[in-house]
Structure 1
């Protein structure tokens, strides 16, 4: 009888620990750029700004790339023949896992774009599909900018 009580208590304790384990980090996506108007997507090849304005640069929007998880679109700002910023204006956000992966990967891709000055950037582990869409859209924006 004593063994049964100890076994039952141990089993109940282990079950309680397993059920209380949090499988999510509970963090929100750190950074995912979005268009100024909800639902609005810049047209592929759209440019803004003027080449003559100092520091502002010209903005080029790449083609929308369809991936198995959703569309990806990149917008770059070019000033003095150099990419000064890159923003993913559209990334897959269909579920919390997409948001978690892209919340980490997209800022890395944006930073690497400015550093590399090309679409030749490394993929982030776990975000290969986003990387494929990002580099495709980025290359079309770079082509539009003549870089």
Structure 2
């Protein structure tokens, strides 16, 4: 809640393992992890590969993908009304992994397979989160 009593969106928890990811988001860059051993590119950031437990490096993503799945919520108790409806989606990135994110558009402007690109949204005084918007036709 804000001082005026208006609810606010919750900010993600920043851990030592994810700090660089959130710092890059604040700079307008989307980072993924890539395994040095098996080459798997994945999201959500963690130090070891979820497939082979190999060491990983950071890799900058293009920020382009398509909607794999989504859900529209029109009412959420304790959620800022200016942020509704809320579209939660799995976006399949060009690099391969799928990430859970929000789509910022009219719910009627999206369907499975819609091409999207990343934008960065301030969410609290110290947090910027990646969200996605449909790519305009012809781009």
**TM superposition score category, shorter chain reference:** under 0.3
Q: If each structure's helix is expressed as a fraction of its own residues, which one has the higher value?
A: 1
Question: What TM-score, normalized to structure 2?
Answer: 0.24
Question: What TM-score, normalized to structure 1?
Answer: 0.23
Larger-Rg structure: 1
